[in-house]
Amino acid sequence: MSIISELTKALPKNSVISGEENTRPFECDGLSVYKQKPLAVALPSNVDQIKKVLEICKKNNTPVVTRGAGTGLSGGALPLKGSVVLGLSRLTRVLSIDPEAQTAIVEPGVRNIAISEAVEEYGLYYAPDPSSQIACTIGGNVAENSGGVHCLKYGLTVQNLEALKILTVDGEELLLSRKDEGMGLLALMTGSEGLLGVISEITVKLTKKPQQAKLIMAGFDSVRDCANTVASIIKIGVIPAGLEMMDQFAIEASEAFAQAGYPLDAKALLLCELDGSEELVEEDLNKVMDILSKATSVRVSENEEERLLFWKGRKSAFPAVGRLSPDYYCMDGTIPKRHLSDVLEKINDLSKHYSLRVANVFHAGDGNLHPLILYDAGKPGELEKTEAFGMDILKLCVEVGGSITGEHGVGVEKLDAMCHQYSAAELDVFHQIKAAFDPHSLLNPGKAVPTLHRCAELGNMHVHHGNLPHPELERF
């Protein structure tokens, strides 16, 4: 019996999709430049059915690519040739809510925003807010350790988890809680990009809705003045709920799209959100206003409507830039904030070098850069040029002590960039961790961690402190 008929037999009607045309909607995730049709797509409705899929795939030695809503931006859910896509979008139940303990137990296919909606009546919400939150699933958030615009104050996914149920490749249930004694397995699973296990149940931590939130919008004559102001805000002891920066190109694009009242003459824009009790917001607001002397324009949201309008420009920056160009490529490096001005200058130099425009939006509070490179995939060679530009940006991030990805993950997209950030010995540890959980490499194989050969072939093997494992290996 073929694996497709085995899956069809084991799962309820309409749970298995196969064939060239039918699998097309699953051929890519949010990074659509990479496409590959899977052998089949299995859409289980409960944990027992997931176990059956795993069992059948294991028996047939068939790779499994777990997928949530497919909104990921690094190709983490890109199907592999001959693989089965394990789509968890039908597991959408909120199993329980404990308003007292401020936790909720949910299935992996529950959408991020749906958690906040389900707990709204208790004055609670789920804090991490990736910009795809209306569509992306919590299972995918855990697999990618997703962030959002409020990470500085409220943390990433990993800080907002209480417990996980993981199905191992053998279909066994591994229970992990933040209260466990011993190694940090909960953190290891978070952000493991579907390579170590299948996330089957999540206990999330919920946060009390702040009494008040105010947004300060300040324009600056230079990126440097804006970056220095970010540093000053942190230094005076204020932790903003959100702290965002945009460069001139991003300001223009967003304003044309959202009409949020952004200052079009500014070279850089700062959005600083303060939340908490009314007293705290007032106190922090006064402190921040005192250090905005370099700003060329300052506005504070007068009401909730205006606060959301100010945010609208920033939150629609990606589609706004998308209107100006046939295609754009979103980068996701992080840097220590003190290097911001220098890094942005170098990105502008690179932009001239490659003759490709770039708009910069930046989670200034946590050092996460999202340069958007504008290109036209229809022009021969332009995608390759864009990818080379992107790689130069990521190298720059690593050089100043940052990372190649802050929240989008490695997937297939940043495999080469991983060779710059990690040494061969470190990559070897990653491969061994994978082997400890998935010895036959059936779970999303080949993603997230490059092979040592791949790095050696690139000639980019990052060898620090003279440590190179397997010196006996031929390098070419």
Task: Kindly identify the residues of this chain, within the stretch 420-449, that bind other proteins according to CB under 8 A.
Answer: 421-423, 425-427, 429-430, 432-433, 436-437, 448-449
Provide, rounded to whole angstroms, the least separation between the CB of residue 231 and other proteins. Answer: 4
Report 338-357 residues binding other proteins (CB under 8 A).
338
Give the span between the Cα atoms of 104 and 115, in whole angstroms. Answer: 8
Give the span between the Cα atoms of 82 and 68, in whole angstroms. Answer: 19
Report 239-278 residues binding other proteins (CB under 8 A).
239
The angle at the Cα of 337, spanning 417 to 185, to the nearest 5 degrees, equals 60
291 binds other proteins (CB under 8 A): no
DSSP 73-113: SSSTTPPPTT-EEEE-TT---EEEEETTTTEEEE-TTSBHH
> CB under 8 A: which stretch of 77-85, 177-185, 208-216, 294-302 binds other proteins?
177-185
CA 416 from chain center: how many Å?
Answer: 18
168 binds other proteins (CB under 8 A): yes
Query: Which residue's CB is nearer to other proteins, number 324 or number 425?
Result: 425
Residue of 94, 113, 188, 391 interacting with other proteins (CB under 8 A):
188
Provide, rounded to whole angstroms, the least separation between the CB of residue 324 and other proteins. Answer: 27
Strands (E), 331-445: 358-363, 368-375
C-beta separation of 175 from 158 below 8 A: no
Provide, rounded to whole angstroms, the least separation between the CB of residue 448 and other proteins. Answer: 8
179 binds other proteins (CB under 8 A): yes
Give the span between the Cα atoms of 130 and 115, in whole angstroms. Answer: 13
Closest-CA residue to 108 (of 45, 174, 40, 188): 45
Report 129-158 residues binding other proteins (CB under 8 A).
144-145, 147, 151-152, 155-156, 158
367 binds other proteins (CB under 8 A): yes
- Which residues are paired to 137 by β-bridges? 111
Closest-CA residue to 41 (of 57, 26, 58): 26
> CB under 8 A: which stretch of 109-117, 316-324, 344-352, 464-472 binds other proteins?
464-472
Give the span between the Cα atoms of 313 and 130, in whole angstroms. Answer: 16
- Which residues are paired to 163 by β-bridges? 177, 203
Provide, rounded to whole angstroms, the least separation between the CB of residue 290 and other proteins. Answer: 16
Query: Which residue's CB is nearer to other proteins, number 116 or number 423?
Result: 423
Report 92-131 residues binding other proteins (CB under 8 A).
none
C-beta separation of 126 from 206 below 8 A: yes
236 CB-near residues (< 8 Å, 6+ apart): 287, 288, 291
**What one-letter code names the amino acid at 68?**
G
Report 223-242 residues binding other proteins (CB under 8 A).
230-232, 234-235, 237-239
> CB under 8 A: which stretch of 6-14, 249-257, 308-316, 332-340 binds other proteins?
332-340
185 binds other proteins (CB under 8 A): yes
Give 337's DSSP letter: G
Provide, rounded to whole angstroms, the least separation between the CB of residue 259 and other proteins. Answer: 30
Give the span between the Cα atoms of 35 and 25, in whole angstroms. Answer: 10
C-beta separation of 285 from 274 below 8 A: yes
Provide, rounded to whole angstroms, the least separation between the CB of residue 454 and other proteins. Answer: 15
The angle at the Cα of 160, spanning 157 to 166, to the nearest 5 degrees, equals 70
C-beta separation of 65 from 80 below 8 A: yes
Contacts with other proteins by CB under 8 A: the residue count is: 79
186 binds other proteins (CB under 8 A): yes
Provide, rounded to whole angstroms, the least separation between the CB of residue 110 and other proteins. Answer: 21
Query: Which residue's CB is nearer to other proteins, number 134 or number 231?
Result: 231
Give the span between the Cα atoms of 395 and 417, in whole angstroms. Answer: 7
Query: Which residue's CB is nearer to other proteins, number 82 or number 469?
Result: 469
Query: Which residue's CB is nearer to other proteins, number 255 or number 332?
Result: 332
Residue of 58, 90, 93, 178 interacting with other proteins (CB under 8 A):
178
C-beta separation of 385 from 354 below 8 A: yes
> CB under 8 A: which stretch of 62-70, 288-296, 328-336, 342-350 binds other proteins?
328-336
C-beta separation of 317 from 256 below 8 A: no
Provide, rounded to whole angstroms, the least separation between the CB of residue 427 and other proteins. Answer: 8
391 binds other proteins (CB under 8 A): no
Provide, rounded to whole angstroms, the least separation between the CB of residue 67 and other proteins. Answer: 18
> CB under 8 A: which stretch of 89-97, 330-338, 352-360, 374-382 binds other proteins?
330-338
> CB under 8 A: which stretch of 190-198, 208-216, 257-265, 303-311 binds other proteins?
190-198
159 binds other proteins (CB under 8 A): yes
Q: Starting from the edge strand earliest in sequence, which strands make up the sheet with 358-363, in order?
A: 297-300, 212-220, 268-276, 242-247, 358-363, 368-375, 327-330
* SS3 state at 460: coil
Residue of 405, 416, 443, 444 interacting with other proteins (CB under 8 A):
405
Closest-CA residue to 132 (of 68, 78, 193): 68
